[in-house]
């Protein structure tokens, strides 16, 4: 043997951890046989499929309805020293600038492997033409998904949730702009993770100005054991690109989400207008109050569905008890749910209900019977939040209980809607069911448990409209949309605060998913006074409903609500299925102008559109009346513009509306403007 041959082999630096690429790695694992963490993967083979194979039917993912909609590439990598494999699945949707991506680790090595982190996508971008900007949707309870943009400098910026849920604080979505964030121009790249648990979105700019981007399960709350032969399938991610502004990314993602992520009978259907009991009566619900204070006036107004929110079950008179005891309180509902549902239905309305199935109150029969069922770590104290603990959905017996409990409620009465709440995040995420080696897996096992119970229930109850909720919009993510087509956007129902929330949400999610209710004024959360007209128009930009005491309305307000419901009937399909154009941002006040927010939706055939504009936070007299320049119309068509009570205001060609625009004259704080836009031949 020569000296040369005895030297270990060398190679150029590879993009895995520990062998020369010092940036954030796309995965990190440990071979338990020798404790090493180096796995330089090499290309081995690839295969191309027409359509989109379901890589893991147990996890949410985008789908196709016909195999010619998409083409999928699977790239196989391996570590030649150990035989460990990785599959990368890329699906290109032919009609969209969107690629979905999945990573699968297959431990075909002879020994055990611990997966310490895995990103669903890692993308390297060259130096920016100007500079890079990272935009994301961040906030907190009652101020979710506020659009935030930061210029990237050398170093790292990340968004994350370590809460076991996607969270109010950060959304599993970010945009990288080559230059500044811009609605209508420029190159932009979006990352949208299909995961309901904790996540990481990471941007790292190197000393050379190159940008590494990564998104996947939050590594801090993740670990997975892979025995020889086991595989781990990371969540799917959608990667979107636009060279014509962020607006185009939104429109493409919305279309794909609406039609190839959301499933079920309600995917393409008009959703019923509803009235929800929460802000009308909080925990003080009863059969008589639901019928007399909500259902009877709702029927008179033409609202279609009455939702009995929190307070109906066990001993639930406040938020300190009874989660898990899913039977109707006999004093409030002496005839059970069937009794109240029948009285509501007799008025011609549908009946819906609220549950929080993943939770358990310490003060509940369920907890007294099963103190081991919440997530917990041995004898350590269990951190309560909103006086409740989280059920250990990594356990099959707990999952069966939840499925049975929800199914029992849904079959106990004629229920056509379920609001599924989740009012706290995970702490002490350990399980009494699993051994020590599995404890690092519980966060992810919980998420898989959520998917399992939701899949079983939405399959068993295809005619129930499910709306997800998490203290408002604390779990507003693509994974939940795979099970439930709409989300309670925020517990903040103030119309003006909602402008920023709904505008930010619309960057990543379509209006068809965004539940929005008209509530009372002054608003319950922040005390702001807003006109009923403005409250209605803000809510009409989403899935429309009411949440207030209908008995206190005067006749003028009743007439206005009837008009809103009629307007909703005329335009809901345009909002639900149309393309969004964001025209004025509530985040960009110009000191010389009133603070304007404006968005429009345009039907696919461009024959109909709706324009909304709002004046927010402006207490000075307006000297410069702005014009709102429309977008997305057919320049050659002539359109008629009607206001919300159908008075004709303008007849103008699309080209004029999209160059000169329409004037907006606001002289009151919180005032609003609406136009229904109809191509002339259509009216
Ligand atoms: C959460 C929801 C509210 C309401 C309450 C009930 O906060 O976001 O809409 O359902 O729970 O407790």
Instruction: List the CATH number of the domain containing 598.
Output: 2.60.40.1180
Q: What is the pLDDT of residue 20?
A: 86
Q: Is 204 in the pocket of ligand 1 (CB under 6 A)?
A: no
What is the number of other CB atoms lying within 10 angstroms of the CB of residue 140?
Answer: 11
> Whole-angstrom Cα distance, residue 650 to residue 479?
43
> What phi and psi values does residue 253 have, to the nearest 5 degrees?
-60, -40
Beta bridge partners of 549: none
Residue nearest to atom 2 of ligand 1 (CA): 471
User: What is the spatial distance between Cα 495 and Cα 508, in angstroms, rounded to a whole number?
Assistant: 20
Q: Is 420 in the pocket of ligand 1 (CB under 6 A)?
A: no
Identify whether 11 is part of a domain.
no
Element (DSSP H or E) covering residue 615: strand 608-615
CA gap 538, 518 in Å, rounded? 8
Whether 467 and 362 share a structural domain: yes
Are 583 and 628 in contact by the 8 Å Cβ rule? The answer is: yes
Question: What CATH number is associated with residue 458?
Answer: 3.20.20.70
Q: Are residues 315 and 451 in the same domain?
A: yes
Nearest CA to ligand 1 atom 6: 310
**CA angle, corner 276, sides to 274 and 278, nearest 5?**
170
491 included as an active-site residue: yes
Residues 327, 459: one domain? yes
Does ligand 1 have an atom closer than 6 angstroms to the CB of 178? Answer: no
In whole angstroms, give the CA distance from residue 457 to residue 460: 5
3-class DSSP state for residue 517? strand
Mutate to test the pocket of ligand 1, among 141, 323, 358, 469 (most ligand atoms within 8 A of CB): 469
On whether both 335 and 426 belong to a single domain, the answer is yes
Task: Give dist(CA 127, CA 108) in Å, integer.
Answer: 37
Of the residues 16, 97, 491, 549, only one is catalytic, namely 491
Residue range(s) defining the domain that contains residue 587: 580-682
pLDDT at 445: 98
| Stated pTM of the model | 0.97
Residue whose CA is at the smallest distance from ligand 1 atom 11: 471
Q: How far is the CA of 464 from the centre of ligand 1 (A)?
A: 19
Per-residue three-class SS string for 277-316 = CHHHHCCCCCHHHHHHHHHHHHHHHCCCEEEECCCCECCC
Distance in Å, CA 178 to ligand 1 centroid: 39
Question: CA–CA separation, 320 vs 315, rounded Å?
Answer: 9
Q: Is 421 in the pocket of ligand 1 (CB under 6 A)?
A: yes
Q: Does some domain include residue 446? A: yes
What's the CA-to-centroid distance between 472 and ligand 1, angstroms? Answer: 7
User: C-alpha angle with apex 277: 274 to 278, nearest 5 degrees?
Assistant: 115
CA–chain centroid gap for 620, Å, is 36
> Do residues 291 and 435 share a domain?
yes
Distances (CA, A) of 116 to 27, 119, 218, 225: 7, 10, 10, 9
- Which of 230, 260, 290 terminates a domain? The answer is 260
For atom 12 of ligand 1, which residue has the closest CA? 310
477 lines ligand 1 (CB under 6 A): no
Would you call 579 a catalytic residue per the annotation? no
Q: 309: Cβ below 6 Å to ligand 1? A: yes
| Residue 471 CB–ligand 1 contact under 6 Å | yes
- pLDDT, position 5: 55
Of 175, 312, 327, 200, nearest to 252 by C-alpha is: 175
36 contacts 30 by C-beta, under 8 angstroms: yes
Of the residues 488, 522, 541, which one is the last residue of a structural domain?
488
Report which protein residue has its CA nearest ligand 1's atom 1: 471
Tell me which residues of the chain have a pLDDT lower than 50. Answer: 1-3, 683
Residues 59 and 191 reside in one and the same domain:
yes
For the CA of 319, the closest atom of ligand 1 is: 12
In this predicted structure, what is the pLDDT of residue 1? 42
Cβ(476) – ligand 1 distance below 6 Å: no
- The total of structural domains in the chain comes to 3
Is 402 contained in some domain?
yes
Cβ count within 10 A of residue 563: 16
- Gap from CA of 276 to ligand 1 centroid (Å): 11
- The full DSSP string for 445-478 is HHHHHHHHHHHHHHHH-TTSEEEE-BTTBTT-SH
Per-residue model confidence as pLDDT tens digits over 256-312? 999 999 999 999 999 999 999 999 999 999 999 999 999 999 999 999 999 999 999
- ∠508-90-199 over CA atoms, to 5°? 45
| Residue 18 CA to ligand 1 centre (angstroms) | 47
Statement to judge: residues 395 and 426 lie in one domain? yes
What secondary structure does DSSP assign to 331-355, as a single string?
TT-TTHHHHHHHHHHHTT-EEEEEE
Q: Would you say residue 540 lies in a domain?
A: no
In a domain, 393, yes or no: yes
Question: Does any ligand 1 atom lie closer than 6 A to the CB of residue 236?
Answer: no
* Residues 196, 292 within the same domain: no
Q: What is the dihedral of CA 371, 373, 378, 379, to 10 degrees?
A: -20
Q: Is 488 in the pocket of ligand 1 (CB under 6 A)?
A: yes
Q: Indicate the residue among 455, 488, 521 that finishes a domain.
A: 488
Q: Read off the pLDDT of residues 214-232 as tens digits, 9 standing for 90 and up.
A: 999 999 999 999 999 999 9
- Residue 19: inside a domain: no
Mutate-to-test residue for ligand 1 from 354, 358, 517, highest number of ligand atoms within 8 A of CB: 354
CATH number of the domain residue 84 falls in: 2.70.98.60
Q: How many CA atoms lie within 13 A of 371 on its CB side?
A: 7
Catalytic residue among 421, 477, 494, 669: 421
Q: Is residue 549 part of a domain?
A: no
Examine the domain organization and report whether 232 and 346 are in the same domain. Answer: no
Q: Which ligand 1 atom lies nearest to the CA of residue 309?
A: 10
Whether 365 and 452 map to the same domain: the answer is yes
The best mutation among 310, 320, 516 to test binding of ligand 1, ranked by most ligand atoms within 8 Å of the C-beta, falls on: 310
**Pocket probe mutation, ligand 1, options 278, 387, 501, max atoms within 8 Å of Cβ:** 278
Check whether residue 105 and residue 204 sit in a common domain: yes
Q: Is position 384 within any domain?
A: yes
pLDDT at 619: 55
Residues of the chain above pLDDT 70, percent: 96
Q: Are residues 78 and 134 in the same domain?
A: yes
Q: What is the pLDDT of residue 621?
A: 58
């Amino acid at each position: 043997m020569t000296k040369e041959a005895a030297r270990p082999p060398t190679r150029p630096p590879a993009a895995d951890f520990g062998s020369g690429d010092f940036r954030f790695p796309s995965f990190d694992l440990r071979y338990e046989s020798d404790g090493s963490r180096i796995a330089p993967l090499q290309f081995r083979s690839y295969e191309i499929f027409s359509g989109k194979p379901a890589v893991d039917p147990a996890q949410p993912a985008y789908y196709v309805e016909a195999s010619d909609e998409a083409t999928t590439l699977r790239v196989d990598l391996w570590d030649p020293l150990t035989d460990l494999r990785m599959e990368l699945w890329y699906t290109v949707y032919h009609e969209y600038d969107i690629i979905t991506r999945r990573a699968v680790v297959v431990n075909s090595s002879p020994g055990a492997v611990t997966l310490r982190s895995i990103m669903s996508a890692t993308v390297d971008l060259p130096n920016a033409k100007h500079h890079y900007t990272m935009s994301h949707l961040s906030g907190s309870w009652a101020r979710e998904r506020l659009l935030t943009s930061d210029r990237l400098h050398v170093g790292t910026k990340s968004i994350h949730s370590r809460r076991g849920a996607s969270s109010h604080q950060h959304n599993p979505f970010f945009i990288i702009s080559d230059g500044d964030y811009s609605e209508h121009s420029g190159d932009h790249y979006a990352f949208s993770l299909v995961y309901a648990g904790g996540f990481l979105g990471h941007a790292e700019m190197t000393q050379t100005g190159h940008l590494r981007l990564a998104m996947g399960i939050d590594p801090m709350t993740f670990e997975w054991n892979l025995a020889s032969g086991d595989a781990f399938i990371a969540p799917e991610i959608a990667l979107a690109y636009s060279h014509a502004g962020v607006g185009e990314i939104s429109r493409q993602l919305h279309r794909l989400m609406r039609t190839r992520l959301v499933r079920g009978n309600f995917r393409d259907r008009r959703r019923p207008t509803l009235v929800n009991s929460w802000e009308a009566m909080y925990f003080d619900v009863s059969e008589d109050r639901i019928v007399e204070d909500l259902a009877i006036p709702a029927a008179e107004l033409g609202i279609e569905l009455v939702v009995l929110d929190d307070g109906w079950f066990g001993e639930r008179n406040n938020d300190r008890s009874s989660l898990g005891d899913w039977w109707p309180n006999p004093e409030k509902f002496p005839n059970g749910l069937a009794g109240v549902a029948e009285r509501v239905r007799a008025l011609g309305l549908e009946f819906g209900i609220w549950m929080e199935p993943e939770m358990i109150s310490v003060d509940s029969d369920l907890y007294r019977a099963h103190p081991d069922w919440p997530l917990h770590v041995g004898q350590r104290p269990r951190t309560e939040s909103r006086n409740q603990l989280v059920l250990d959905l990594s356990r099959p017996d707990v999952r069966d209980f939840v499925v049975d409990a929800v199914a029992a409620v849904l079959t106990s009465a004629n229920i056509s809607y379920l609001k599924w709440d989740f009012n706290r995040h995970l702490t002490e995420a350990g399980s009494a069911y699993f051994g020590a080696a599995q404890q690092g897996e519980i966060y992810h096992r919980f998420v898989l448990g959520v998917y399992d119970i939701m899949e079983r229930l939405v399959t068993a109850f295809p005619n129930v409209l499910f709306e997800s909720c998490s203290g408002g919009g604390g779990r507003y993510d693509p994974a939940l949309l795979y099970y439930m087509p709409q989300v309670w956007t925020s517990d903040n129902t103030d119309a003006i605060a909602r402008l920023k929330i709904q505008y930010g949400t619309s960057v990543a999610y379509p209006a068809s998913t965004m539940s929005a209710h008209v509530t009372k004024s002054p608003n319950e959360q922040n005390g702001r006074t807003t006109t009923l007209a403005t409250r209605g128009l803000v809510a009409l930009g989403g899935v429309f409903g009411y949440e207030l005491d209908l008995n206190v309305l005067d006749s003028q307000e009743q007439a206005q609500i009837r008009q809103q419901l009629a307007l909703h009937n005329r335009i809901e399909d345009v909002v639900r299925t149309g393309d969004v154009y964001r025209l004025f941002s509530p985040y960009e006040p110009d000191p010389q102008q009133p603070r304007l927010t404006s968005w429009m939706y345009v039907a696919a055939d461009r024959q109909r559109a709706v324009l909304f504009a709002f004046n927010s936070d402006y207490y000075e007299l307006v000297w410069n009346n702005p014009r709102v320049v429309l977008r997305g119309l057919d320049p050659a068509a002539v359109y008629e513009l009607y206001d919300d009570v159908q008075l004709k205001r303008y007849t103008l060609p699309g080209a004029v509306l999209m160059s000169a625009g329409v004037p907006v004259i606001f002289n009151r704080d919180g005032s609003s403007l609406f136009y229904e836009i109809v191509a002339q031949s259509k009216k």
